[in-house]
Amino acid sequence: MRAERLDKAREFARKLSQLGDSSGLDLIDAKRANTADREELLGGADAFHFLLFGKGKTNAERLFVDCNHLLSSLAEDSSKLELQHVQQVVREYFQVVWELAALGTRKGDHVEIVLSINDKGGRQRTEKAFNLLGLKLNRSKHGVRVESAEGKSQAKKQDTVAALAIDDQGMQEAFAAGKPYVLDIPVERVPVFPAASLWKAAFYPHERYPGGLAEALTADPRMARLYLALNSMDRAAAEVLLQAVPLATLAESYAAELSFYSAALAMNGSVAEVPGGEAAEAVWRELAGVSPRTPAAFFQKLLSRDEDG
């Protein structure tokens, strides 16, 4: 549960329940009720995961954790060339998807873009969409074909086609039959902790990212590192820490400490959990100078001990 692997936790809790102990299921339900806010992700979780990893199964509940683990690893590479490549790919992807979505109409959890070659408006919309996706429409005596456009700049756009799993064959068949084709762009709500508004206020108050927080996390390694640390620790402890220390301060002053030790920070009710339990609280109060019973100040003091010498 601390690692937010709630699917595995629920599987284990069900086994306990079969043995007569349903407390695990109760904990899972309470955990889900207090999970992170959700942020709309244009293009959906599967597409963003594919863009970064190229393969593997997507778990939307852990999407940002998994992606930030990758970004943090790339940021530690001394050359950082791979990180720069990923940043460019993500930036271009979200710009394309944002422009695509502007051609359509929002319908609940997706955007519908009606492509057609039967009328002037439809042809113009289709031409714009194809240009964004690096596709072209080829008419010949053999019929209508949807093909990849030529040129290096057009070929790069195929990343978006692959990520969104766009069915170019389905388009071709619809156009050949004289029918429109509806291109769906998913808009998926994925968990975010802390809330996206807090990240924006702390790190990019004046920036506009078409991909929202997902793109911002990719662009700023500090955010990726801090996001991973906060989501690797006990959620209650993270919430307590955030009440005392702003996100920007955590990134500037305690990033390294949190990266190494965030998983060790936990709460036991309203008290900071310490090795040795209640009997050891006096020892920890002496070491930190703050009681575990004031957890926000206690966590902050632990993180700043290297600075204090």
Residue range 103-132, pLDDT digits in tens: 999 999 999 999 999 999 999 999 999 999
Of 230, 262, 285, the one marking the end of a domain is 230
Residue 294 burial (C-beta neighbours within 10 Å; 0-12, 13-18, 19+): middle
- Average pLDDT of 85-104? 96
pLDDT band at 213 (very low <50, low <70, confident <90, very high): very high
Q: What is the pLDDT of residue 309?
A: 45
Average pLDDT of the residues in 239-261: 91
d(CA 51, CA 36): 24
Of residues 227, 170, 103, the one with CA closest to residue 216: 227
Q: Could you report the per-residue pLDDT of 137-183, keeping only the tens digit for each?
A: 988 877 889 998 887 677 678 889 999 999 999 999 999 999 999 99
Least confident of 149-153, 176-180, 209-213, 297-301: 149-153
Whether 258 and 109 share a structural domain: no
C-alpha to C-alpha distance for 174 and 171, rounded to whole angstroms: 5
| Residues 146 and 247 occupy one common structural domain | no
Find out whether the peptide bond into 180 is cis, omega within 30 degrees of 0.
Answer: no
Angle ∠(262,268,274) on CA atoms, nearest 5: 60
Q: What is the mean pLDDT of residues 3-23?
A: 72
Rounded to an integer, what distance in angstroms lies between the CA atom of residue 132 and that of residue 43?
Answer: 14
- Least confident among 77-86, 87-96, 120-129: 77-86
Give the three-class secondary structure for 146: strand
Is 308 a residue whose pLDDT tops 70? no
- Whole-model pTM: value is 0.82
**10 vs 114 pLDDT, higher one:** 114
Inter-residue contact 298 to 292 (CB < 8 Å): yes
Residue 4: pLDDT over 70 = no
Tell whether the model's pLDDT for residue 307 goes beyond 60. Answer: no
Buried b (16+ CB within 10 A) or exposed e, 233-255: bbbbbbebbbeebebeebbeebe
State the average pLDDT over residues 4-22: 73
Are 12 and 121 found together in one domain?
Answer: no
Domain coverage including residue 166: 37-230
**Is residue 177 located within the same domain as residue 224?**
yes
Query: Do residues 99 and 199 both lie within one domain?
Result: yes
Residues 97 and 74 in one domain: yes
Check whether residue 51 and residue 41 sit in a common domain: yes
Q: Of 230, 254, 288, which residue sits at a domain end?
A: 230
Mean pLDDT is highest, among 76-90, 141-155, 211-225, 243-257, for 211-225
178 and 57 in a common domain: yes
Asked if residue 50 and residue 16 are part of one domain, the reply reads no
Q: What percent of the chain has pLDDT over 70?
A: 91
258 Cβ contact partners less than 8 Å away, ≥ 6 residues apart:
226, 229, 230, 233, 250, 303
Please give the Cα distance from 51 to 56 (Å, whole number).
Answer: 11
Is residue 245 domain-shared with residue 300, that is, in the same domain? yes
Count the Cβ atoms, other than its own, within 10 Å of residue 79.
Answer: 8
- Residue 119: predicted pLDDT: 93
- Dihedral sign computed on CA atoms, order 206, 210, 213, 215: negative
Full DSSP string of 42-55: ET-HHHHHHHHHSS
46 and 127 share one domain: yes
Quick one: which H or E segment has residue 107? strand 105-107
DSSP string, 111-144: EEEEE-SSSHHHHHHHHHHHHHHTEEEEEETTEE
280 shares a domain with 158: no
* Beta-strand relationship, 105-107 and 267-268: unpaired
Last residue of a domain, one of 230, 259, 280: 230
Residue 59's pLDDT band (cuts 50, 70, 90):
confident
Residue 11 pLDDT class (50, 70, 90 cuts): confident
Residue with tokens 């008290």: 271
Q: How many domains does the chain have?
A: 3
Q: Cα(223)–Cα(46) distance, rounded to whole angstroms?
A: 22
